[in-house]
Structure 1
């Protein structure tokens, strides 16, 4: 790997890290710089433009919605001014569910379509699309002595990879998308194919 390619991969990885730190800190002005103007976020609870996702995140923050992100390893594929970054991550959300305060931890990957473009401040990398991959999750009462009984019919509505996260988000009033990519299956394979097309110069083509 050339020194230039290594540095460009570091720039993409730094972008991914800044996203998590600035979003969870409520540093909305800097968080906005992680995106290009046509950027789009595909979360369980919000599928929207970057601007609308930021607005929804700010509104949730003001209501006390607690969602945190922890990042692990990051793999970056580069092709000219385009990149696909896959980053191991954990989403942690705390809320009251059926009268019991719980923590949900969901493990997966961020699958990011990223591009370097010319802008007012010069060339910079920005996210064009973020599609998480949801691999597994769990729900635990904050008080170990608390008794939690979930509605099995509601729980069964959601894919295994984010079943408990979706349950919590539904209970606090969000409409949750039910066909997000998981560890295996047609949806994640279609996402990988969209990533390869992106690196080859095509539009990402990832539909809601």
Structure 2
């Protein structure tokens, strides 16, 4: 779908502001990237944006280290609606069974966006988890993983899910990966959003 240069710049800036302000703990400005009906789905959280901001702030203040890095970006625009896809990595440092590790997950942010009086805002964010890996921070350290726990999660975020579970989070299974039913359903919801659907997908299902 055709889009103006202004839309292209504004949507890219919106996604970049999300990552910079969230990771910096700039919660007031971070709240400004969300639509009033904003919804966030992640491995460890599914719910309204306001609740996600509060949970992220609490984690930040308690030493939870989750950072984001962005890559290529593409957007489709239909009037005052858009679907933005942005390559990203999620990086988390945590202790697993007494061993400090880094887990890195590569994928895409898939954002349902809407333009209002204040400009573009995110109505729903659904990450797509494509692949991940786990490394010990100290090369001399060793870590033996619980295979049963690791296999509980889809291949796209199995190590991220493992680390977050060990850290005390409840991790949702069945989230979209590079291929499969979940991501195909997401693409269908995105197409319907651009076509004028009343909601950005089945949020009740995503929150279950």
How high is the TM-score relative to the length of structure 1? 0.95
Q: Distance in 1 between matches of 2:51 and 2:28?
A: 14
Task: Give structure 1 stretches of 5+ with no counterpart.
Answer: none
User: CA RMSD of the aligned region, Å?
Assistant: 1.2
Contact 1:133 1:183 in 2 (8 A): yes
Counterpart for residue 12 of structure 1:
11
- Tell me the alpha carbon deviations over residues 59-108 of structure 1, each in whole angstroms, 9 at most, x when there is no partner: 00011000000000110100000000000000000000011000000000
The answer to whether residue 146 in structure 2 is matched with residue 151 in structure 1 is: yes
Q: Distance in 1 between matches of 2:133 and 2:170?
A: 19
Corresponding residue to 1:188 among 167, 183, 196: 183
Contact 2:40 2:49 in 1 (8 A): yes
Contact 1:191 1:206 in 2 (8 A): no
Counterpart for residue 74 of structure 1:
73
Deviates more, 1:4-13 or 1:139-148: 4-13
Corresponding residue to 1:174 among 166, 169, 175: 169
Q: Distance in 1 between matches of 2:200 and 2:49?
A: 16
**3-state SS of 2:4 partner:** helix
- Tell me the alpha carbon deviations over residues 17-51 of structure 1, each in whole angstroms, 9 at most, x when there is no partner: 00000000000000000001110000100001000
Q: Distance in 1 between matches of 2:145 and 2:62?
A: 24
Q: Distance in 1 between matches of 2:47 and 2:61?
A: 19
Task: Give structure 2 stretches of 5+ with no counterpart.
Answer: none
Corresponding residue to 2:136 among 118, 137, 141: 141
Contact 2:190 2:201 in 1 (8 A): no
Counterpart mapping for 1:1-208 below 5 A: 5-118=4-117, 123-202=118-197, 203-207=199-203, 208=206
Q: Distance in 1 between matches of 2:201 and 2:129?
A: 20
Q: Distance in 2 between matches of 1:204 and 1:48?
A: 13
Q: Distance in 1 between matches of 2:180 and 2:109?
A: 17
Contact 2:41 2:47 in 1 (8 A): yes
How high is the TM-score relative to the length of structure 2? 0.95
Following TM superposition, by how much is the alpha carbon of 1:9 offset from its aligned partner in structure 2, in angstroms?
1.3
- Aligned structure 1 segments of 4 or more residues deviating by more than 2 angstroms: none
